[in-house]
Structure formats: structure tokens, C-alpha cells
Amino acid sequence: MTPVLPFIKKQILAEQFVDSPEHFQVYTERQLDKIEALSQLSKDQLFEMKVVASVLPFRVNKYVIDHLINWRDIPNDPIFQLVFPQKGMLSQDDFEQMTTVLRSSNDRSAVLEKANEIRQRLNPHPAEQQSLNVPYEDEEPIEGIQHKYRETVLFFPSQGQVCHSFCSFCFRWAQFIGDKNLRFSNKEAQKLHSYLSKHKNISDLLITGGDPMVMKTDHMVSYLEPLLKPELDHVQTIRIGTKSLSFWPQRYVNDVDSDQLLALLERMVRAGKHIAIMAHFNHWREMSTPIVHEAIRRLRESGVVIRTQSPLLNHINNDPDVWAFMWREQVRQGLVPYYMFVERDTGARRYFEVPLARAWQVYREALKRVSGLGRTVRGPSMSTGPGKIEIQGVTVINGEKVFVLRFLQARNPDWAQRPFFAQFDPQATWLDQLKPAFGDEKFFFQAEYDAMQKKQISPRVY
């Protein structure tokens, strides 16, 4: 029986927000002690958080603490899990090593040294992001740009390389721990625009971070407005990847430059660009406050399209009902569900990952519970080095139980949409644990991908 899902009552009280704008207040690792709500935790629990927060990035703001977390249900509350460090995010061994360092010295450099050692074990550069995605011009890497799939360029504006709060599962975690080598950023809009104008097959620009919506509107203007020049007519869609609707919906309602931001988006839409807000929502709770309803209403009024995406995460949304409810709520508020991702092979994956077989089951069960308008989600999808690989299902072919897979996006565009098969493995959580089915030695793309990695052929074969 399909359960009947309740609704979130939609409330919009615009005046309330204008009269009393909320002050943005943020807490980082060093201010853990200052978060009043945490006083209900024991000393040991607080110390555990400190251990994890000295390795993985931590940042939370007061809106999240006051409005999104149900403090009567911690530690199980999904939003608490989403932003606060948990012991299981580190291996037991790493956890103990860091505990020893923290207990035995007040020396910040010893803590940092241990932290860096542990971070190196957490695969900070997943999917060959740095080695294969950064384009070159005159043998120089163009900083702040990644170009992996033919149609779409990622841009990391330097002012947008932080977030209003950090997600504990974030695959970009390494950018937030102060290691400049790991940071993608770009000081100059001009380099971006010059790259785009030279590559006419780019139809989509994806502005990402961090969170570009932490930028002042003035900066956003300098990145977006030049895209209206005739030589950039081929860049039809501008996507902005953001978690701001969850973590700081005030951005669109009563920040000092909210109105200017909405006016900018509206100008871009009127000039003929498709502006897509790629909103990260991991749980329907993030869509339940009056101010997020108002933010969504105002954004949609500007003419942008809001699409949504999230990884499937143990402890947060490993439940088809949570997804079905979230997608229904998104459709109701006029949003388009777009991607369900598999938790990536980096950072705190040990804590959040679920087997691929389970991911497919959650996807299927959730999809079954929503109408066609909620079935626009693709996934569950693994963002791997060779491309985005979707788990299409589990079936038996000639007596062999297999995963049916396909690329949604691929480094070589010609790999996309071809079904391929892996031996079924109930425990596997990532591509590197899968073996080709039917006795094949390699997946069909492997030899070509190996050659790209060895730079025998270009990673951009298009």
C-alpha cells in the first residue's frame, strides 16, 4: 500500500520578513562551545564533535540551528546530521589518533599536522577533477574552470567559494579547509568569458562553489551580465548551484541586496537566457519554513527555473518516504526534481554511503509514490572519473544477476546512454567495486579512459 503523504502547509507572510530581517550569524569549529542548543549534549559528545571538526570542515548558521533542526530529536534529526560532525565520519583509528593529539597538546600545529595526514586518506580529489577537468590555454591551466562534458562548463567564482553552512557529506569538503591547492577559484570573469566565446559547443555554464549565492549581487552582476554579449549567444543556459534556499533563504527576501539580485535574474531571463537555480535539498524539512516558501515564490516570479538535486545519504534521507514527500513538495512549490546522486567516494563517505542496490531500491520506491511530474529525477547517479553513471536497475540475464548501468554524461559524449552491465554485488557502493558482467575483462569505456588518464589521448575528445 502506498502511504498517503501529508502536506506542508504553505505559509507566506511577506511583511513579517520585511519588518524583521534576520541577522546572519555563523559558527565555526572554534565556536562550537558558543552554540547554546548544544548545551544539552554531554561533555564527551561535544569533545567527539571537536575531534571530527578538526579534520572535516564545520560551519553552521543560526537560521539552521533555530528553524531547521528539531532539537528534541538529536542526534537522529536529519538536519542535525547534515550540519553537525558525528563520530562515525572518521574511521575509528583516525578518530583515536586525533583524540590523542587533542588531549595531549594545545599546540595548534600538531593538530593541523594530524588533520592533514588524515585528510590525505579521505580522497580529497575525487573523479580526477584536477588532473582531467581543468582546461589549458597556451599550456597554462585556466584556474577556476572545469570542462568535463562537452556542453557544460563549471565556473568557480572566487567570491563564491564558501557556503552559508557546510554539509557534512560535501564532496567539495577539501576546498573549505584552507588548502589552496585544492581550491578552484577564478578572480577574473574575463578569463571565463574569453574561454566561453572560443568554444561554441558550450550551451551551459554552471556557476558553482562553495555557493555562488553567498556573493554580493554586484559580483554576480559582473559574472552574469557579460554573458548577454552576442559572442556568447551560444551559452543558452546559466545554472547556479546553490544550497541557499536551505541554509539562507533570506538571500532572496530581505538581505540588503535581495531585490537587486532578483532584478538581475529577471533581466537575464528577459534577455533570453534560461536561468536555472540548481537547488540542493536533502530533506523536505529544508522546504518547510515560511521564509523558504517566500524565497521560492520570489525566485519563480523572476522567471528562473528551480531544479533540485541531492545525494542519497544514510542518516539523512535513506528512506523512500522522505524522497517521495520531498519530490511532491517540490512539484507543489513549482520546482523540478532533477538528480538523485550516489554519495561520492570522498570525505565522510563511510558514514553516509549506502549500497548501490539499496540506492536503486530507494529511488524506485520513491518514484512509484509520486506522479509523473515528480518522475523527472535521474539517478541514482555516480559522478565518477569517466562520467555520470546511472544505476538503471538489477535484473537477471542468462542466469547471471547484474546491475544495468548507463552513462548520463561521459567524458566521451559517445559513451552516453549505452546500457552496460556489472556483476550484481549487494555490498558495492561505488564503481571501483564493480566488475563487468558476463566474464568480460573490462567495461567498454575502460581502455579509452585509461588512455585519457595517461594523457595518450586528450580528456576532451570532442
Q: Classify strands 274-280 and 305-312 as parallel, antiparallel or unpaired.
A: parallel
| Distance of alpha carbon 363 from alpha carbon 49, whole angstroms | 31
Tell me which of 280, 285, 388, 411 binds ligand PLP, using CB under 6 A. Answer: 388
Query: Which DSSP helix (H) or strand (E) runs through 220?
Result: helix 217-224
Cβ proximity to ligand PLP: between 269 and 408 the closer is 408
Q: Is residue 236 within the footprint of ligand PLP (CB under 6 A)?
A: no
Tell me which of 154, 253, 326, 356 binds ligand PLP, using CB under 6 A. Answer: 154
Task: Convert residues 79-118 into a mask of x (bound to ligand PLP by CB under 6 A) and - (unbound).
Answer: ----------------------------------------
Task: Convert residues 316-355 into a mask of x (bound to ligand PLP by CB under 6 A) and - (unbound).
Answer: ----------------------------------------
> How many residues bind to ligand PLP according to rule CB under 6 A?
10
Listed in sequence order, the residues at least 6 apart from 173 whose beta carbon sits closer than 8 Å to its beta carbon are 56, 57, 124, 166, 346, 347, 348
Q: Is residue 412 within the footprint of ligand PLP (CB under 6 A)?
A: no
Tell me which of 258, 346, 383, 384 binds ligand PLP, using CB under 6 A. Answer: 383
Q: Assign 3-state DSSP to the chain and report helix, strand, coil percentages, each to 5.
A: 45, 20, 35
Cβ proximity to ligand PLP: between 369 and 411 the closer is 411
Q: Which stretch binds ligand PLP (CB under 6 A): 141-149, 296-304, 352-360, 431-439?
A: 141-149
Q: Is residue 14 within the footprint of ligand PLP (CB under 6 A)?
A: no
Q: Is residue 146 within the footprint of ligand PLP (CB under 6 A)?
A: yes
In which residue are the cell numbers 546530521 written?
81
Tell me which of 28, 99, 123, 152 binds ligand PLP, using CB under 6 A. Answer: 152
Q: Is residue 408 within the footprint of ligand PLP (CB under 6 A)?
A: yes
| Distance of alpha carbon 352 from alpha carbon 341, whole angstroms | 12
Enter the DSSP assignment of 370: S
Cβ proximity to ligand PLP: between 217 and 383 the closer is 383
Q: Is residue 409 within the footprint of ligand PLP (CB under 6 A)?
A: yes
Gyration radius of the chain over CA positions = 22
Q: Is residue 149 within the footprint of ligand PLP (CB under 6 A)?
A: yes
Q: Count Cα atoms within 13 angstroms, Cβ side, for 120.
A: 5
Q: Which residues of 414-431 are buried (b: 16+ CB within 10 A; e: fewer)?
A: ebeeeebbbbbbeebbbb
Q: Which stretch binds ligand PLP (CB under 6 A): 3-11, 96-104, 148-156, 345-353?
A: 148-156
Cβ proximity to ligand PLP: between 50 and 150 the closer is 150
H helix runs in 233-286, sequence order: 244-247, 258-270
| Distance of alpha carbon 180 from alpha carbon 122, whole angstroms | 17
Rounded least distance, CB 359 to ligand PLP, Å: 17
Listed in sequence order, the residues at least 6 apart from 339 whose beta carbon sits closer than 8 Å to its beta carbon are 308, 309, 310, 377, 378, 379, 381
Listed in sequence order, the residues at least 6 apart from 440 whose beta carbon sits closer than 8 Å to its beta carbon are none
Cβ proximity to ligand PLP: between 127 and 402 the closer is 127
Rounded least distance, CB 205 to ligand PLP, Å: 10
| Helix 290-301, helix 258-270: angle, nearest 10 | 30
Cβ proximity to ligand PLP: between 59 and 411 the closer is 411
| Helix 217-224, helix 258-270: angle, nearest 10 | 20
Rounded least distance, CB 209 to ligand PLP, Å: 14
Residues found near ligand PLP in the complex (CB under 6 A): 146, 148-149, 152, 154, 206, 383, 388, 408-409
